[in-house]
């Protein structure tokens, strides 16, 4: 039962963005396109919102594992930029009430080389996250109450980098509307897990491929905090969509973070031994 940021960020991060394994195994592209006809009606907004999330996840089941590279571009309120280069690995987990595992490793610049984040996603239990800091040769466990904080100076929070399980949220379909050249389902999702930094999120998911296109994040005061836009989607193995450009804009600080993804590989043989705290130390 997972969707991802790390898959929707690795799908994306990548991604999260609405999903679950509550439906049957992936169908062919023609059958999947017909899935929109089976959604609950507009008079059932909660059921319709959940079904959209489930369909998004259903289309990504079975990828086993993936790896990719990423460039992170940070821009401050004055327009000054800095860049970082990272690697991302994801292991699909099919156990009930568990989410995918992910490992993010920084390669450049030199002052962050070897810094790594390991995430085990759960449903309503707090996600397990550890960070390796090479400067002190130490693995640090990330407290569940600190996961709303910024990750490595970016506009993404720690909780954004964990797999976004369908069961972590309640859903309400709001409307369908144009989004660029496509039409999108607009769904509000409310975190059910403790210590989220968000009161709610509004997600735009296209009605053709059921991929997330935009998400608005509202802070604990219910004010608009930031917007994530996902673009440059590409299809892998005739089944798995991945966004190659993720742009996060913080409306309260005027800072932005762009993630540019490349070099995707699927089914490369990653295993649980590649996603341990000891693996963090060897990630460099």
Residue 184, domain member (yes or no): yes
Non-local (6+) Cβ contacts of 79 within 8 A are none
Structure tokens at 3: 């969707």
- The per-residue pLDDT for 146 is 64
For 45-74, the pLDDT digits (tens) are: 999 999 999 999 899 888 999 999 999 999
282 SS3 class: helix
Residue 3, domain member (yes or no): no
Residue 21, domain member (yes or no): no
Q: Give the CATH number of the domain where residue 264 resides.
A: 2.50.20.10
The rounded mean pLDDT for the chain is 85
Total domain count, the chain? 1
The CA distances from residue 254 to 135, 194, 220, 226, 259, in Å, are: 30, 28, 19, 9, 17
Nearest partner of 102 among 179, 15, 172, 28, judged by Cα: 15
For 231-244, the pLDDT digits (tens) are: 999 999 999 999 99
Residue 194, domain member (yes or no): yes
- The per-residue pLDDT for 160 is 86
- The per-residue pLDDT for 199 is 95
- The per-residue pLDDT for 41 is 94
Residue 151, domain member (yes or no): yes
To the nearest 10°, the Cα dihedral for 193, 52, 60, 259?
A: -70
The CA distances from residue 17 to 30, 116, 158, 169, 246, in Å, are: 21, 23, 16, 11, 13
Peptide bond preceding 109 in cis form (omega within 30 of 0): yes
Structural element, H or E, at residue 169:
strand 169-179
Residue 19, domain member (yes or no): no
- The per-residue pLDDT for 262 is 94
Which domain does 46 fall in, by range? 29-282
Residue 156, domain member (yes or no): yes
Q: What mean pLDDT do residues 90-107 have?
A: 88
**CA–CA dist 32, 10 (Å, integer):** 22
Residue 15, domain member (yes or no): no
Non-local (6+) Cβ contacts of 147 within 8 A are 127, 129, 157, 158, 159, 162, 195, 197
- The per-residue pLDDT for 95 is 82
Residue 135 has pLDDT above 70, yes or no: yes
Structure tokens at 34: 């017909």
**148 alpha-carbon distance from chain centroid:** 14
- Looking at the whole model, is its pTM more than 0.75? yes
């Amino acid at each position: 039962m997972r969707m991802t940021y790390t898959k929707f960020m690795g799908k994306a991060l990548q991604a999260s963005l609405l999903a679950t394994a509550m439906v049957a195994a992936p169908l062919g592209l023609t059958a999947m396109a017909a899935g929109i006809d089976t959604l609950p009606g507009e008079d059932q907004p909660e059921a319709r919102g959940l079904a959209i999330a489930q369909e998004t996840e259903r289309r990504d089941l079975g990828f086993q594992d993936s790896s990719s590279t990423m460039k992170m571009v940070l821009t401050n309120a004055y327009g000054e930029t800095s860049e970082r280069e990272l690697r991302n690995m994801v292991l699909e987990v099919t156990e009930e009430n568990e989410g995918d595992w992910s490992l993010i490793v920084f390669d450049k610049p030199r002052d962050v080389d070897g810094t790594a984040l390991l995430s085990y996603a759960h449903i309503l239990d707090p996600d397990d996250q550890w960070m390796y800091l090479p400067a002190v040769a130490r693995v640090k466990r990330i407290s569940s109450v600190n996961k709303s904080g910024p990750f490595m100076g970016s506009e993404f929070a720690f909780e954004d980098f964990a797999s976004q399980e369908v069961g972590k949220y309640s859903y309400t379909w709001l409307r369908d509307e144009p989004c660029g050249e496509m039409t999108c389902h607009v769904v509000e999702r409310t975190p059910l897990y403790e210590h989220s930094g968000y009161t709610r999120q509004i997600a735009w998911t296209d009605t053709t491929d059921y991929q997330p296109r935009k998400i608005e994040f509202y802070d604990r005061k219910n004010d608009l905090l930031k917007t994530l836009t996902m673009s440059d989607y590409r299809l892998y193995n005739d089944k798995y969509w991945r966004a190659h450009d993720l742009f996060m804009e913080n409306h309260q600080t005027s800072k932005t973070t762009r993630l540019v993804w490349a070099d995707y590989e699927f089914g490369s043989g990653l295993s649980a031994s590649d996603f341990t705290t000891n693996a963090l130390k060897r990630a460099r």
